[in-house]
Amino acid sequence: MRRVGHLVVCGAVILFLGAGADIRSAEKRLLKVDDLFEIKDVNDPQVSPEGDWVAYTVRKADSKTDKNDTDIYMTRWDGSQTLRVTTSKVAETTPRFSSDGRWLAFLSSRDYDEDTDQVWLMSRSGGEAERITDFKGGVSDFAWSPDSKRLALVVLDPDPDACDAEKEGKEACEEKTPKPIVIDRFKFKEDETGYLGKRHEHLVLFDVAARKGEAITSGLHDDLLPAWSPDGRSIAFVSKRADKDPDRGDNWDVYVIEAKTGAAPRQLTTFDGADSSPEWSTPPAWSPDGQQIAYLQGGPPKFIYYVLPRLAIVPVAGGAPRIVTATLDRGVGLLHWSSDGRSIYCILEDDGSVHLAKVHVATGTIDRILAGPRTIGAFDVGKGDRIAVLNSTPDEPPEVFALEGTTLRPLSRQNQEFLSHVKLGKTEKVSVKSKDGTAVTSFVVKPPDFVAGRKYPAVLRIHGGPVGQFQNEFDFDWQLFAANGYVVLAANPRGSSGRGEEFCRAIYADWGNKDAQDVIAAVDDAVTRGIADPQRLGVGGWSYGGMLTNYVIAQDTRFKAACSGASISNILAGYGTDQYIVEYEAELGQPWKAFDTYVHNSFPYLHADRIKTPTLFLCGDKDFNVPLLNSEQMYQALRSQGIDTQLVIYPGQYHGIRTPGYVKDRLERYLAWYGKYLKP
């Protein structure tokens, strides 16, 4: 009787909870543009040395100040307590625990006249944070020594032409006429940095107690990604110092230098391509015994970014490196040795997901610890291989989780309240066949109130890169389009990562051909399945996504509306005006020697008369990645033909639009443009 009674009571509870869930579901609303001010961007989990706490950053857009603010939080490993560590209106990033656990250091430009990041130090026993560095050029990265007495800093050389506000006064400096910019470098411009002079980033050894730093590297090259040896005697880092002209390639190598002034760096790797390129955000990793260094090796220089980083190990004493993942046709990154030195934890990119994996050093065997439809954006390994991960799925923005075996336990919960109030569209991963039979992965996001059998206006979204991938992660733009009644199609065409090097290199020097066929195949599949209305198709993307948008509308007139952000179609105009001089010459050649190749890849501009799609062009006026002039040319080409078009220029913005008000404006313009032509 008790057992029956117990079952009845439990059943009542379940029914009650189910009814409550239905009520809550009914109360949920659709996502709206202003929700971008509610979403919190969680990142950079760091496990404390004792393993009891996890620090991480939380970024949120503020509609009142029209700025983004990043603060540091800490959560106990058992999830029982969360602390907000910083509260200023200026961003604090890169939280790092000292090795003895007494201190938490971070980067911030707050209360600093030069507006460059400096290192701040906070005692974990309490008290206010203190700025401990004063480098005019700023600190971009740092690492604690094992004894917690020193920091290895990455410091930018000060600007020799900068006005000294302390000596001359701030007002006098503001009124002073800037000196002419003199260019003499091969690669002379970079997005957000501007025109490149002779300033570089170098390593500085910083004494925490004395608050004093001394440079241990110098020269006309950058020295980045410092990593201390377990005994604290040496620092590994990456540099292109071996090249006569570092600007002419991507030949990063791993070096080791004694942690003292006057020491000479010793080169460990000599591969012609990139070893631990800073673009992979993966510092060299010392084995626990200090005898080996794990790093990432790229591919032949001619293939530039069309490569998949492989895990390699090199003896610290010198010798040939060993490629541990030689048979794995997937890219890896973010390397952490296991405490016993037998394995290396890493992330592994695979067909629309990013998994957490463990590679056995001796055999190269790979165990996927966290697989499935997810994206592991970051992770950290603490004492006893205690792991905190940044995990996202199509239904949940990135959050910090504690890994227990192969299951995740939530720690940060920053977006839990927000998600409880909104309805999201269902995301489905499908495989479609391209024109030549190639299998292409695509994501399909349906409106939250999707009705089977009804055809919906569809928007094809195209990712940038071209080497990159759409992933099993939360995408605000996708969900916003879905909330406004669109089916969203997001394909990973050839040129994308996650499917192996052959798939990645299939578009080498041949843009807008196979990759255009692949994304169009995703649209054809949705039309065939009766999901997408063939009379109401839109397309759009940013950067290479904008470029491929232009390629698509120049060969398929079915699309009724397009949004092309920060794109280029006249490739000849890109040579020497953007930051990709190395990539242009490696992939396409020099225009006077490979004119036909440039013309071949410029057909959306040279054959703009084939375009019939009303197109919205957008770009930041300070973009040195894909400069504004390229969007201006395409706008002019369509305007000259009488095609409905518009050019939106965001003042003070670089390749990535970051000012919250402009991000909101861009989303509203997307919806208005698609709405005008797909929902007449």
Task: Give the model confidence (pLDDT) of 318-354 as tens digits.
Answer: 999 999 999 999 999 999 999 999 999 999 999 999 9
- Annotate 30-51 with b (16+ C-beta within 10 A) or e (fewer): bbebebbebbbbbebbbbbbeb
Q: Which pLDDT value is given to residue 17?
A: 30
- Annotate 183-221 with b (16+ C-beta within 10 A) or e (fewer): eeeeebbebeeeebbeebbbbbbbebeeeebeebbeeeb
- Annotate 334-369 with b (16+ C-beta within 10 A) or e (fewer): bbbbbeeeebbbbbbbbbbbbbbbbbebeeeebeeb
DSSP label of 157? P
Looking at every residue in the chain, the average pLDDT score rounds to: 94
pLDDT tier at 112, thresholds 50, 70, 90: confident
Q: Which pLDDT value is given to residue 170?
A: 76
DSSP label of 275? B
- Annotate 563-584 with b (16+ C-beta within 10 A) or e (fewer): bbbbbbbbbbbbbebbbbbbeb
pLDDT, tens only, 470-515: 999 999 999 999 999 999 999 999 999 999 999 999 999 999 999 9
pLDDT, tens only, 350-371: 999 999 999 999 999 999 999 9
pLDDT beyond 50 at 22: no
Q: Which pLDDT value is given to residue 203?
A: 98
Q: Which pLDDT value is given to residue 16?
A: 25
Q: Tokens 């105009």 belong to which residue?
A: 573
Enumerate residues 6+ apart whose C-beta is below 8 A from 452: none
Instruction: Report how far residue 215's alpha carbon sits from residue 260's, in angstroms, rounded to the nearest whole number.
Output: 9
Q: Which pLDDT value is given to residue 125?
A: 86
DSSP output for 648-661:
EEETT--SS--SHH
Instruction: Report how far residue 614's alpha carbon sits from residue 644's, in angstroms, rounded to the nearest whole number.
Output: 5
DSSP output for 176-222:
SPPPPP----SS-EETTTEE--S--EEEEEEETTTTEEEE---SSS-
Task: Show the tokens assigned to 313.
Answer: 């190990």
pLDDT beyond 80 at 7: no
pLDDT tier at 26, thresholds 50, 70, 90: low
Dihedrals phi, psi of 111, to nearest 5 degrees: 55, 35
Q: Which pLDDT value is given to residue 24?
A: 46
Instruction: Report how far residue 86's alpha carbon sits from residue 112's, in angstroms, rounded to the nearest whole number.
Output: 16
pLDDT, tens only, 632-661: 999 999 999 999 999 999 999 999 999 999
Q: Which pLDDT value is given to residue 284?
A: 98
Task: Show the tokens assigned to 469.
Answer: 């991938």
pLDDT beyond 90 at 235: yes
In this prediction, what percent of the chain has a pLDDT beyond 90?
91
* Of residues 249, 250, 299, the one with CA closest to residue 278: 250
Q: What is the mean pLDDT of residues 508-526?
A: 98
Beta 375-381 vs 53-62: how paired, if at all?
A: unpaired
The whole-model pTM stands at 0.93
Q: Which pLDDT value is given to residue 254?
A: 98
Enumerate residues 6+ apart whose C-beta is below 8 A from 19: none
pLDDT beyond 70 at 64: yes
pLDDT beyond 70 at 586: yes
Instruction: Report how far residue 104's alpha carbon sits from residue 586's, in angstroms, rounded to the nearest whole number.
Output: 43
pLDDT, tens only, 194-208: 999 999 999 999 999
Q: Are residues 671 and 484 in contact, defined by beta-carbon separation less than 8 angstroms?
A: yes
pLDDT, tens only, 270-282: 999 999 999 999 9
pLDDT, tens only, 124-178: 988 899 999 999 999 999 999 999 999 999 999 998 888 877 777 778 888 889 8
pLDDT beyond 70 at 440: yes
Give the domains, in start order, of the chain with CATH numbers.
Answer: 423-678 (3.40.50.1820)
Task: Decide: helix, strand or coil at residue 533.
Answer: strand
